Amino acid sequence: KPLNSCSVRILPSTASTMKCLVLAMMLWGALSMTLAKTSSAGVPQDAQETKDNVNAVVQLMRDLAEAITKDGHEEQEEYDRYACWCEKTLDNKTQDIQIAEAAIEAAQEKILELETATGTNDVEIQHLKKQISGLETDLVEALAVRTSEKAKAHEDGEEIRVAIESLDNAIQVLKAGTQKTSFLGALQQSQTLGLTGSLRRVLALPIAQGMLSDDEHNTMQEFINSPHLLSALQSGKEEDHSGIERITGICWRMLEDFMSELERTHGEDLEKEILYRSLKVSKEQELSTTQDTLAQTELAFAEDRKELGVTRSLRDDTSEQMEADKSVTKRITHDCQNKSVQWAEVSRFRTQTLLGIQKAIDVLSHDVFSSSSMLLQLSSAASGLREQSTLNQALQQLDSVVAAHPSLVQFTAGKKFAYFDEVVAAIDKMIKTLHAEEKTDIAERDRCQNLQKKTQDGIQDDASKITTISDHVQRATVSKSDLVASLTAC
């Protein structure tokens, strides 16, 4: 049958079935020629010759039936092994898919758990880093405050010590000035001259402002600024000693106050030092604990991230393998189903062939052939007509098979095959020819499909180009109209 468009012919059955069919056709041809010769002769043949011919055909058909049955058993065993392989393979693949689905589900749950853990650890790490930064800042600030306090305490202590030293010197000078002598040594005179400067600096200190009352402060200012008391101190006159003694008393009290202030300053500085060291120890311990916690959290975070990556990779690999198993299962299922359909068709065809052969054997083994003197006997009896009708039906069935497969005509055209090897070789040659035709048909189909697709793509491209050109023409028309309108306006 010639190709119609891109249609492709498919082989009707397997090679073994084709061989059986051709052998049946050969027998049918031999029987037809024998019957034809007998009927054309118009005269009875030798009864023994006719009987021998019929027996030979019957034996040949029985041998053929045995060969077909034997091939059927062998092919059945092969198909059973194939069906067993399909069943076991599909069971194994189904089990693998179920295991993969369970593994993927477990991996997904593990991934969610690890993502939650890594997210929590990440937040905790950021919090711990912020806390460590705060503790380090607290330590730096505490050190800066303590350094400032120590500098302030040292500065205040130095001022107080200078004031104490100045007051002590002033008291010594004042004591020496109250002695009943009219002569002062050069050193004492020099100290007397520097007395006012020392007292002025002491009174200028902020801490000294709260030590004196207003009267005492005024008295000290008058002493410092009065040349009369200073000259009295230098001359050592007795009538001037009362003012000097009052100044000396004020200096003594200020000296005691400064010494108390110095002691208080040292005490406060010592207390601040103790508090600073206690705070430092506490902050350092807290910092160390926080750093250890951070290290452990970062280690857990890194381990979770690593396990998360491994689990994701395992899930992806398992998913890929599962999809591959599903694809293989689908392909195997399709192939096994197709093979099952093919095997059912082959079995049906073999059964029909065996039934046809058995029917032919029954017809040829009937008494009408054994009691007749010729191979084909014409009779008006009803039984003879029924037998002839049965034979004609068998021959018509074989004719229909030949009509469906024209390539089998060569085996019914009067050719004689002395040996089965020649028949098998001819069948193999025919099968190769059919396979070659199938490949040619498939190539022609692919060529037609590719050409059709190329044509459709070209049509789509041309349609797109036409649309684009139409848009350009439309825009050009609009531009032309605008230019014409502009020229008209000018």
Query: How many helices and strands, by DSSP H and E, does the chain display?
Result: 9, 0
Maximum separation of any 2 CA atoms in the chain, in Å: 200
Higher-confidence residue of 226 and 282: namely: 282
How large is the average pLDDT for residues 264-289? 90
The per-residue pLDDT for range 309-324, each reduced to its tens digit, is 999 999 999 999 999 9
Rounded average pLDDT over 405-412 = 54
Amino acid 124: pLDDT: 93
Q: What global pTM score does this model have? A: 0.47
CA distance linking residue 363 with residue 145, whole number of Å: 128
> Given this model, what pLDDT does residue 233 score?
53
CA distance 167 to 253: 10
- Which tokens hold the place of 389? 């009708």
Please, are residues 273 and 152 in contact by the beta-carbon 8 Å criterion?
no
In this prediction, residue 381 carries a pLDDT of 44
Closest CA to 192 of 169, 209, 160: 169
pLDDT, averaged across the chain: 75
Does 38 score more than 50 pLDDT? no
Percent of the chain whose pLDDT exceeds 70: 69
pLDDT, tens digit, 9 for 90 and up, residues 126-171: 999 999 999 999 999 999 998 998 888 888 888 888 888 877 877 7
- CA atoms of 362 and 124, how far apart (whole Å): 95
pLDDT at residue number 319 = 92
Q: Using the predicted structure, report yes or no on whether residue 408 has a pLDDT greater than 80.
A: no
Rounded Cα gap, residues 80 and 76, in angstroms: 6
Q: String of b and e for 239-264 (b: at least 16 CB within 10 Å)?
A: ebbebbebbbebbeebbebbbebbee
Structure tokens at 266: 């040292």
pLDDT tens sequence across 84-138: 999 999 999 999 999 999 999 999 999 999 999 999 999 999 999 999 999 999 9
Q: How far apart are CA 51 and CA 365, in angstroms?
A: 10
What's the token pair of residue 69?
A: 């049955």
pLDDT at 181 over 80: no
Domain boundaries defined on the chain: 15-111+326-436, 124-307
pLDDT for the residue numbered 478: 81
Residue-wise pLDDT for 432-485, tens only, equals: 888 888 888 888 888 888 888 888 888 888 888 898 888 888 888 887 887 777
- For residue 381, the 8-state DSSP code is S
CA-to-CA distance for 176 and 188, rounded, in angstroms? 8
- Mean local confidence (pLDDT), 257-261: 84
* pLDDT of 225: 72
pLDDT of residue 390: 55
